[in-house]
Amino acid sequence: MKAPLFSSARRCRFVILISGRGSNMQSIVRACREQGWPAEVAAVISNREDASGLQWAASQGIPTRVVPHRDYADRVAFDAALAREIDAFEPDFVLLAGFMRILTEDFVRHYADRLINIHPSLLPLFPGLGTHRQALEAGVAVHGCTVHFVTPVLDHGPIIAQGVVPVMPGDTEEALAERVLGIEHVVYPTVASWLAHGKVSLEAGKVVVRDVADRAFLWSAPAVSLEKCA
């Protein structure tokens, strides 16, 4: 299925799901506005009332919603309620940005070809949690992040783009996580821009990105400041 193409009269609508401060969400909102994409973040939704990213989104005039997962008996009921909130905003794409919930197959299929995730590793390496620890234990020379379409298989799905950072001598999990987060703030807004401009499609299960020179982002800096996303 091809992703929709947007004319100048049609603005792409994103709904972003977060569970915490939503630093990737913030980077997408900033890039969308500063670069003048034909798009808007229609809503930011969280499963946690105390997610600080909700306050930031509200301060930017973006509608916010909370669907507390603890209010529902199981994942099926939670996902159904979450989908109702999302669908009220009529999104073209749903972006997972640190949304710490495993989604049901029905939810994923409901948003087939419209559900995007960022994962802090170079998939298919190190799916699941503890990716930075896994990278250090494996002794890899490079690490990074992956933006991909979501499928019912956790941390799989067609890859749209990846960001690569070096693993430095003496790295800790915290230092490596900080470096990876820096490249996430480059890759995810870039992919969102491609989506907004209709440059990404799925053809026979393969990602096609048009008019883009490179889908890999290399970053050699050993550290990054997080002040902008505090």
91 lies in which domain range? 12-229
CATH code at 190? Answer: 3.40.50.170
Judge whether 119 counts as a catalytic residue: yes
Reduced to 3 states (helix: H, G, I; strand: E, B; else coil), residue 191 is: helix
Q: Which residues of the chain have pLDDT under 50?
A: 1-8, 221-230
Total domain count, the chain: 1
pTM of the model: 0.90
Ramachandran bin of 157, using left for φ above 0, alpha for ψ from -120 to 50, beta for the remaining angles: left
User: Domain for residue 2, yes or no?
Assistant: no
**Has residue 39 been placed in a domain?**
yes
Q: Which of 144, 26, 41, 56 is nearest to 92 (CA)?
A: 41
State residue 219's pLDDT score: 81
- Is residue 6 in some structural domain? no
Contact (Cβ atoms closer than 8 angstroms) between residue 213 and residue 10: no
Give the model's pLDDT for residue 84: 98
Q: Which pLDDT score is estimated for 51?
A: 97
Q: Tell me if 4 is assigned to some domain.
A: no
pLDDT at 230 (0 to 100): 33
The Cα-based distances of 58 to 45, 70, 117, 192 in angstroms read 11, 23, 22, 20
pLDDT value, residue 220: 60
Tokens of 141: 């020379």
Nearest to 122 by CA among 105, 152, 147: 147
pLDDT in tens, 123-133: 999 999 999 99
**Could you tell me which residues are beta bridge partners of residue 218?**
164
Tell me how far apart the alpha carbons of residues 202 and 129 are, in angstroms, rounded to a whole number: 27
Domain contains 1: no
In a domain, 7, yes or no: no
Give a yes or no: residue 3 inside a domain. no
Task: Exactly one of 69, 119, 132, 143 is catalytic; name it.
Answer: 119
Answer yes or no: is 134 within a domain: yes
